[in-house]
Amino acid sequence: MPDESPVPFGIDVNTPNVARMWDFQLGGKDNFAADGAAAENVNEAMRRVNAPDGRVVAKENRAFLQRAVRYLAGKAQIKQFLDIGAGLPTQGNVHQTAHEVAPDARVVYVDYDPVVVVHGQALLTGTDKTTVMLADLRQPEKILDDPELRRMLDLGQPVALLLIAVLHLLTDDDDPIGIVTQLRDALTPGSYLVVTHATRQKHPNAATALADQFKRLRVTTPIVPRSREEILRFFDGFELVEPGLVFPKLWHAEAPTTQADAGSAWMFAGVGRKL
| Residue 1: predicted pLDDT | 45
- Give the separation between CA 264 and CA 157, rounded to whole angstroms: 36
CA distance 266 to 155: 33
Q: Among 178, 155, 165, which residue's Cα sits nearest to residue 82?
A: 155
Q: Give the H or E element holding residue 4.
A: none
CA distances from 122 to 47, 114, 132 (A): 36, 12, 10
pLDDT of 9 reads 46
CB 114 within 8 A of CB 192: no
Degrees (nearest 5) of the Cα angle 246, 252, 258?
A: 60
190 exposure class (CB count in 10 Å sphere: 0-12, 13-18, 19+): middle
Tens place of pLDDT per residue across the chain (275 aa): 454 455 554 567 788 888 888 888 888 887 889 999 989 988 898 888 888 888 898 899 999 999 999 999 999 999 999 999 998 777 678 999 999 999 999 999 999 988 788 878 887 777 889 999 999 999 999 999 999 999 999 999 999 999 999 999 999 999 999 999 999 999 999 999 999 999 988 888 888 888 888 888 888 788 899 999 999 999 999 999 999 999 999 999 876 665 556 788 899 999 999 99
How many alpha carbons fall within 13 Å on the CB side of residue 200? 15
The Cα–Cα gap between 226 and 109 comes to 25
Task: Determine the Cα–Cα distance for residues 116 and 78; give it in Å rounded to an integer.
Answer: 25
What is the reported pLDDT for 164? 96
Sheet containing 160-164, strands listed edge to edge, beginning at the edge strand earlier in sequence: 130-134, 106-111, 80-84, 160-164, 192-198, 267-274, 238-240
Predicted local distance difference test score (pLDDT) of residue 52: 84
Pick the CATH number of 18-274 from 1.10.510.10, 3.40.50.150, 3.10.28.10, 3.60.140.10: 3.40.50.150
E strands of 73-167, at which residues? 80-84, 106-111, 130-134, 160-164
| Cα separation, 88 vs 30, whole angstroms | 7
CA-based end-to-end distance of the chain: 45
